[in-house]
Amino acid sequence: MDEKAKTTKIAIRVFLAMALFLTTVDLPAQETRKVISNPAPAYPETAIAPDGQIKITKIIGGHPLLVNAVEETLESWKYAPAGAETTATLEFRFNP
Report yes or no: 59 and 73 within 8 Å, Cβ to Cβ: no
pLDDT at 59: 85
CB atoms within 10 A of CB 16: 20
Provide the terminal-to-terminal Cα distance of the chain, rounded to the nearest Å: 34
User: What average pLDDT does this structure show over 78-88?
Assistant: 89
pLDDT, tens digit, 9 for 90 and up, residues 36-56: 787 766 667 888 889 999 888
pTM: 0.49
Round to whole Å and give the CA distance between 91 and 42: 11
Query: In whole angstroms, how far apart are CA 27 and each of 20, 40, 60, 88, 90?
Result: 15, 18, 18, 31, 27
